[in-house]
Amino acid sequence: MLTFLRRLFGMSPPSGQTAEPASQPATSETVPASESDAPASTEWQAAFDVDSRFYPWLLGRFASQVSNGAEKPLLVALERLCRADFSDTRHIPRVPSVLPQLLKSLRNEYVSGDELAGHIAKDVSLVAEIISEVNSSYYSPADKISNLDNAIRLLGINGLRMLVARTAFRPLIQLQAGHVTSVVAPLIWEQSEKCAQACRQLAQERGLDAFHAYLAGLLQNIGLIIAFRALDQIMTSPTMPLATAFRLRFFHMAHILSYRISREWDFPEAVMGALKDQVSHESPLQGLGLVVRQASDISKLSQMVNAGVCNKDDEGLQLSTDAQIQRCFSALHAREGET
Protein backbone atom coordinates (compact mmCIF):
# COMPACT_ATOMS: atom_id res chain seq x y z
CA MET A 1 0.00 0.00 0.00
CA LEU A 2 2.80 2.40 0.83
CA THR A 3 4.33 1.66 -2.56
CA PHE A 4 1.07 2.76 -4.17
CA LEU A 5 1.17 5.98 -2.15
CA ARG A 6 4.74 6.68 -3.19
CA ARG A 7 3.79 6.23 -6.83
CA LEU A 8 0.60 8.26 -6.44
CA PHE A 9 2.49 11.25 -5.03
CA GLY A 10 5.76 10.72 -6.91
CA MET A 11 7.64 10.03 -3.68
CA SER A 12 10.88 8.31 -2.81
CA PRO A 13 10.97 6.21 0.38
CA PRO A 14 12.53 7.63 3.53
CA SER A 15 16.23 7.04 4.19
CA GLY A 16 16.99 3.41 4.84
CA GLN A 17 13.87 2.11 3.02
CA THR A 18 13.60 0.71 -0.48
CA ALA A 19 10.57 0.72 -2.71
CA GLU A 20 8.73 -2.56 -3.26
CA PRO A 21 7.86 -3.77 -6.77
CA ALA A 22 4.67 -2.20 -8.06
CA SER A 23 1.61 -4.46 -8.08
CA GLN A 24 -0.41 -2.11 -10.31
CA PRO A 25 0.18 0.73 -12.77
CA ALA A 26 1.45 3.95 -11.25
CA THR A 27 -0.88 6.94 -11.05
CA SER A 28 0.79 10.13 -12.22
CA GLU A 29 0.20 13.51 -10.71
CA THR A 30 1.52 16.87 -11.80
CA VAL A 31 3.33 18.50 -8.92
CA PRO A 32 3.99 22.25 -8.89
CA ALA A 33 7.58 23.35 -9.09
CA SER A 34 9.40 25.01 -6.26
CA GLU A 35 9.27 28.80 -6.17
CA SER A 36 12.83 29.42 -7.26
CA ASP A 37 15.40 27.44 -9.17
CA ALA A 38 18.18 29.68 -7.90
CA PRO A 39 20.81 27.87 -5.83
CA ALA A 40 20.44 28.24 -2.08
CA SER A 41 22.95 30.40 -0.29
CA THR A 42 23.56 27.75 2.33
CA GLU A 43 23.47 23.99 2.74
CA TRP A 44 23.31 24.05 6.53
CA GLN A 45 22.03 21.10 8.47
CA ALA A 46 22.49 19.88 12.01
CA ALA A 47 25.02 17.10 12.59
CA PHE A 48 22.20 14.80 13.75
CA ASP A 49 18.64 13.96 12.75
CA VAL A 50 16.70 16.71 14.55
CA ASP A 51 13.48 14.66 14.61
CA SER A 52 15.28 11.86 16.48
CA ARG A 53 15.37 14.21 19.49
CA PHE A 54 12.27 16.27 18.76
CA TYR A 55 9.86 13.32 18.43
CA PRO A 56 10.53 11.75 21.88
CA TRP A 57 10.45 15.19 23.50
CA LEU A 58 7.17 16.03 21.78
CA LEU A 59 5.54 12.78 22.94
CA GLY A 60 6.73 13.03 26.51
CA ARG A 61 4.90 10.50 28.67
CA PHE A 62 3.13 9.06 25.62
CA ALA A 63 6.39 7.69 24.16
CA SER A 64 6.72 3.94 24.48
CA GLN A 65 8.93 1.08 23.36
CA VAL A 66 5.97 -1.00 22.14
CA SER A 67 6.23 -4.69 21.33
CA ASN A 68 7.36 -5.68 17.86
CA GLY A 69 4.52 -5.43 15.36
CA ALA A 70 2.28 -3.28 17.54
CA GLU A 71 2.91 -0.27 15.33
CA LYS A 72 1.57 -1.97 12.18
CA PRO A 73 -2.13 -1.08 12.73
CA LEU A 74 -1.14 2.54 13.26
CA LEU A 75 0.77 2.70 9.99
CA VAL A 76 -2.05 0.96 8.12
CA ALA A 77 -4.48 3.56 9.47
CA LEU A 78 -2.22 6.39 8.31
CA GLU A 79 -1.83 4.84 4.86
CA ARG A 80 -5.60 4.72 4.53
CA LEU A 81 -5.84 8.33 5.63
CA CYS A 82 -3.29 9.37 3.02
CA ARG A 83 -5.53 7.82 0.36
CA ALA A 84 -8.80 9.21 1.75
CA ASP A 85 -11.11 11.59 -0.02
CA PHE A 86 -10.11 14.94 1.44
CA SER A 87 -13.38 16.55 0.38
CA ASP A 88 -14.84 14.56 3.29
CA THR A 89 -14.81 16.83 6.36
CA ARG A 90 -14.28 13.83 8.64
CA HIS A 91 -10.67 13.65 7.55
CA ILE A 92 -9.50 17.25 7.42
CA PRO A 93 -10.80 20.50 8.90
CA ARG A 94 -12.49 23.01 6.68
CA VAL A 95 -10.48 26.11 5.90
CA PRO A 96 -12.23 29.20 7.37
CA SER A 97 -14.58 30.69 4.78
CA VAL A 98 -12.94 34.10 5.01
CA LEU A 99 -9.39 32.81 4.45
CA PRO A 100 -9.43 32.15 0.66
CA GLN A 101 -10.64 35.70 -0.02
CA LEU A 102 -8.10 37.12 2.39
CA LEU A 103 -5.23 35.13 0.94
CA LYS A 104 -6.14 36.26 -2.56
CA SER A 105 -6.24 39.88 -1.42
CA LEU A 106 -3.07 39.61 0.65
CA ARG A 107 -1.13 38.25 -2.33
CA ASN A 108 -2.01 41.38 -4.27
CA GLU A 109 0.71 43.95 -3.64
CA TYR A 110 -1.67 46.74 -4.71
CA VAL A 111 -4.50 45.80 -2.33
CA SER A 112 -5.92 48.67 -0.30
CA GLY A 113 -6.39 48.78 3.44
CA ASP A 114 -10.13 49.35 2.90
CA GLU A 115 -10.43 46.19 0.83
CA LEU A 116 -8.63 44.14 3.46
CA ALA A 117 -10.72 45.63 6.24
CA GLY A 118 -13.87 44.65 4.34
CA HIS A 119 -12.81 41.00 4.20
CA ILE A 120 -11.57 40.85 7.78
CA ALA A 121 -14.71 42.49 9.17
CA LYS A 122 -16.71 39.43 8.05
CA ASP A 123 -15.06 37.36 10.79
CA VAL A 124 -15.70 38.82 14.25
CA SER A 125 -13.23 36.50 15.98
CA LEU A 126 -10.51 37.46 13.50
CA VAL A 127 -11.12 41.15 14.17
CA ALA A 128 -10.86 40.52 17.93
CA GLU A 129 -7.58 38.63 17.48
CA ILE A 130 -6.06 41.42 15.41
CA ILE A 131 -7.09 44.12 17.88
CA SER A 132 -5.67 42.06 20.74
CA GLU A 133 -2.41 41.44 18.89
CA VAL A 134 -1.73 45.07 18.02
CA ASN A 135 -2.27 46.06 21.67
CA SER A 136 0.28 43.48 22.85
CA SER A 137 3.70 44.31 24.23
CA TYR A 138 5.27 43.30 20.92
CA TYR A 139 3.72 46.29 19.12
CA SER A 140 3.36 48.57 22.19
CA PRO A 141 1.19 51.29 20.60
CA ALA A 142 1.31 54.73 22.23
CA ASP A 143 -2.47 54.64 22.68
CA LYS A 144 -4.77 51.65 22.91
CA ILE A 145 -6.15 50.65 19.52
CA SER A 146 -9.85 49.82 19.44
CA ASN A 147 -10.80 49.60 15.75
CA LEU A 148 -9.70 47.67 12.70
CA ASP A 149 -8.70 50.66 10.56
CA ASN A 150 -6.16 51.87 13.11
CA ALA A 151 -4.87 48.32 13.57
CA ILE A 152 -4.23 48.01 9.83
CA ARG A 153 -2.41 51.34 9.79
CA LEU A 154 -0.12 50.17 12.59
CA LEU A 155 0.58 46.75 11.12
CA GLY A 156 0.98 47.72 7.49
CA ILE A 157 0.13 45.30 4.69
CA ASN A 158 3.07 42.96 5.35
CA GLY A 159 2.43 42.80 9.08
CA LEU A 160 -1.25 42.18 8.45
CA ARG A 161 -0.46 39.33 6.06
CA MET A 162 1.46 37.46 8.71
CA LEU A 163 -1.04 38.17 11.47
CA VAL A 164 -4.09 37.13 9.44
CA ALA A 165 -2.45 33.88 8.33
CA ARG A 166 -1.36 33.03 11.87
CA THR A 167 -4.74 33.89 13.38
CA ALA A 168 -6.64 31.88 10.78
CA PHE A 169 -4.44 28.80 11.14
CA ARG A 170 -4.21 28.67 14.92
CA PRO A 171 -7.54 26.83 15.46
CA LEU A 172 -6.72 24.41 12.64
CA ILE A 173 -3.39 23.40 14.16
CA GLN A 174 -4.74 23.32 17.71
CA LEU A 175 -7.39 20.69 17.06
CA GLN A 176 -7.22 19.13 20.49
CA ALA A 177 -9.12 15.86 20.16
CA GLY A 178 -7.77 12.78 21.93
CA HIS A 179 -5.34 12.11 24.76
CA VAL A 180 -2.14 12.49 22.76
CA THR A 181 -3.28 15.27 20.44
CA SER A 182 -4.51 17.47 23.29
CA VAL A 183 -0.99 17.48 24.76
CA VAL A 184 1.14 17.70 21.61
CA ALA A 185 -1.04 20.21 19.70
CA PRO A 186 0.06 23.32 21.65
CA LEU A 187 3.72 22.33 21.22
CA ILE A 188 3.21 21.73 17.51
CA TRP A 189 1.52 25.10 17.11
CA GLU A 190 4.42 26.80 18.92
CA GLN A 191 6.84 25.12 16.55
CA SER A 192 4.68 26.09 13.55
CA GLU A 193 4.81 29.76 14.52
CA LYS A 194 8.57 29.60 15.00
CA CYS A 195 8.97 27.79 11.68
CA ALA A 196 6.91 30.41 9.87
CA GLN A 197 9.02 33.20 11.36
CA ALA A 198 12.22 31.40 10.40
CA CYS A 199 10.89 30.72 6.89
CA ARG A 200 10.10 34.40 6.44
CA GLN A 201 13.55 35.54 7.54
CA LEU A 202 15.46 32.99 5.46
CA ALA A 203 13.30 33.71 2.41
CA GLN A 204 13.95 37.43 2.69
CA GLU A 205 17.69 36.89 2.93
CA ARG A 206 17.62 34.61 -0.13
CA GLY A 207 15.44 36.83 -2.31
CA LEU A 208 12.36 34.56 -2.14
CA ASP A 209 8.73 35.53 -1.47
CA ALA A 210 8.52 35.99 2.30
CA PHE A 211 4.73 35.62 2.48
CA HIS A 212 4.73 32.33 0.59
CA ALA A 213 7.49 31.13 2.90
CA TYR A 214 5.52 32.19 5.97
CA LEU A 215 2.42 30.31 4.75
CA ALA A 216 4.46 27.18 4.02
CA GLY A 217 5.98 27.33 7.50
CA LEU A 218 2.56 27.53 9.14
CA LEU A 219 1.05 24.81 6.99
CA GLN A 220 3.85 22.24 7.14
CA ASN A 221 2.59 20.79 10.43
CA ILE A 222 -1.12 20.49 9.62
CA GLY A 223 -0.57 16.91 8.43
CA LEU A 224 1.18 16.05 11.70
CA ILE A 225 -1.86 17.17 13.69
CA ILE A 226 -4.23 15.23 11.43
CA ALA A 227 -2.04 12.13 11.83
CA PHE A 228 -2.05 12.39 15.62
CA ARG A 229 -5.83 12.85 15.64
CA ALA A 230 -6.34 9.80 13.45
CA LEU A 231 -4.18 7.58 15.66
CA ASP A 232 -5.83 8.90 18.82
CA GLN A 233 -9.10 7.48 17.54
CA ILE A 234 -7.83 3.92 17.15
CA MET A 235 -5.21 3.47 19.88
CA THR A 236 -6.29 1.21 22.73
CA SER A 237 -3.88 3.06 25.03
CA PRO A 238 -2.36 6.53 24.53
CA THR A 239 1.16 5.42 23.63
CA MET A 240 3.20 6.09 20.50
CA PRO A 241 6.07 3.86 19.29
CA LEU A 242 9.58 5.28 19.59
CA ALA A 243 11.16 2.96 17.01
CA THR A 244 13.16 4.81 14.36
CA ALA A 245 11.42 2.99 11.49
CA PHE A 246 8.01 4.03 12.81
CA ARG A 247 9.09 7.63 13.35
CA LEU A 248 10.42 7.92 9.78
CA ARG A 249 7.21 6.52 8.29
CA PHE A 250 5.03 8.61 10.62
CA PHE A 251 6.66 11.91 9.68
CA HIS A 252 6.84 10.91 6.02
CA MET A 253 3.09 10.33 5.86
CA ALA A 254 2.45 13.51 7.87
CA HIS A 255 4.29 15.42 5.11
CA ILE A 256 2.09 13.73 2.50
CA LEU A 257 -1.00 14.87 4.39
CA SER A 258 0.25 18.46 4.62
CA TYR A 259 0.88 18.54 0.90
CA ARG A 260 -2.51 17.04 0.05
CA ILE A 261 -4.27 19.50 2.35
CA SER A 262 -2.48 22.43 0.70
CA ARG A 263 -3.87 21.22 -2.62
CA GLU A 264 -7.35 20.74 -1.21
CA TRP A 265 -7.29 24.29 0.13
CA ASP A 266 -5.92 25.63 -3.17
CA PHE A 267 -2.86 27.34 -1.75
CA PRO A 268 -0.39 29.17 -4.00
CA GLU A 269 1.65 26.84 -6.21
CA ALA A 270 4.89 27.98 -4.58
CA VAL A 271 3.57 26.88 -1.17
CA MET A 272 2.36 23.54 -2.51
CA GLY A 273 5.72 23.00 -4.21
CA ALA A 274 7.65 23.65 -1.01
CA LEU A 275 5.49 21.16 0.90
CA LYS A 276 5.82 18.58 -1.87
CA ASP A 277 9.59 18.98 -1.55
CA GLN A 278 9.35 17.76 2.05
CA VAL A 279 7.94 14.47 0.75
CA SER A 280 10.22 13.78 -2.19
CA HIS A 281 13.87 12.83 -1.74
CA GLU A 282 14.75 12.48 -5.41
CA SER A 283 17.02 15.53 -5.65
CA PRO A 284 18.71 18.01 -3.30
CA LEU A 285 16.38 20.65 -1.90
CA GLN A 286 16.65 24.20 -3.12
CA GLY A 287 14.65 27.42 -3.09
CA LEU A 288 11.58 27.51 -0.87
CA GLY A 289 11.69 23.76 -0.24
CA LEU A 290 15.12 24.11 1.36
CA VAL A 291 13.96 27.12 3.37
CA VAL A 292 11.08 25.12 4.86
CA ARG A 293 13.30 22.15 5.72
CA GLN A 294 15.95 24.31 7.41
CA ALA A 295 13.40 26.53 9.16
CA SER A 296 11.64 23.45 10.51
CA ASP A 297 14.89 22.14 12.00
CA ILE A 298 15.89 25.56 13.39
CA SER A 299 12.50 26.05 15.04
CA LYS A 300 12.56 22.58 16.58
CA LEU A 301 16.07 23.16 17.92
CA SER A 302 15.00 26.52 19.32
CA GLN A 303 12.04 24.91 21.05
CA MET A 304 14.18 22.15 22.54
CA VAL A 305 16.84 24.63 23.69
CA ASN A 306 14.13 26.59 25.49
CA ALA A 307 12.93 23.36 27.10
CA GLY A 308 16.44 22.40 28.21
CA VAL A 309 16.61 19.37 25.92
CA CYS A 310 19.48 20.84 23.88
CA ASN A 311 22.22 23.36 24.56
CA LYS A 312 22.53 26.19 22.03
CA ASP A 313 26.32 25.82 22.23
CA ASP A 314 26.16 22.12 21.32
CA GLU A 315 28.52 21.64 18.38
CA GLY A 316 26.03 19.19 16.90
CA LEU A 317 23.64 22.04 16.16
CA GLN A 318 26.22 23.43 13.68
CA LEU A 319 24.81 26.94 14.19
CA SER A 320 28.20 28.60 14.12
CA THR A 321 28.95 27.20 10.66
CA ASP A 322 26.57 29.56 8.87
CA ALA A 323 25.95 33.21 9.73
CA GLN A 324 22.53 33.25 8.07
CA ILE A 325 21.28 30.31 10.09
CA GLN A 326 22.79 31.70 13.28
CA ARG A 327 20.99 35.03 12.75
CA CYS A 328 17.73 33.21 12.19
CA PHE A 329 18.14 31.09 15.32
CA SER A 330 19.01 34.16 17.41
CA ALA A 331 15.98 36.03 16.05
CA LEU A 332 13.65 33.26 17.21
CA HIS A 333 15.02 33.60 20.75
CA ALA A 334 14.76 37.37 20.64
CA ARG A 335 11.09 37.11 19.64
CA GLU A 336 10.57 34.49 22.36
CA GLY A 337 11.74 36.96 24.99
CA GLU A 338 9.32 39.61 23.78
CA THR A 339 6.17 37.50 23.92
pLDDT category, 38, cuts 50, 70, 90?
very low
Mean pLDDT of all residues in 118-122: 81
pLDDT of residue 26: 31
Mean pLDDT of all residues in 299-325: 91
The least confident of 30-44, 138-152, 163-177, 303-317 is 30-44
pLDDT of residue 188: 93
The least confident of 36-45, 55-64, 84-93 is 36-45
Nearest to 46 by CA among 281, 320, 337: 320
Nearest to 240 by CA among 61, 88, 94: 61
Q: Is the pLDDT of residue 200 over 90?
A: yes
Question: Tens of pLDDT along 88-109?
Answer: 656 566 666 666 666 666 666 6
pLDDT of residue 10: 35
Question: Tens of pLDDT along 219-251?
Answer: 999 999 989 988 888 887 888 888 899 999 999
pTM: 0.79
The least confident of 62-66, 81-85, 87-91, 223-227 is 87-91
Q: What does each C-alpha distance from 190 to 5, 25, 194, 303 come to in angstroms? A: 30, 41, 6, 8
Domain boundaries of the chain, sorted by first residue = 32-88+179-339, 94-174
* Choice between 13 and 106, residue whose per-residue pLDDT is larger: 106
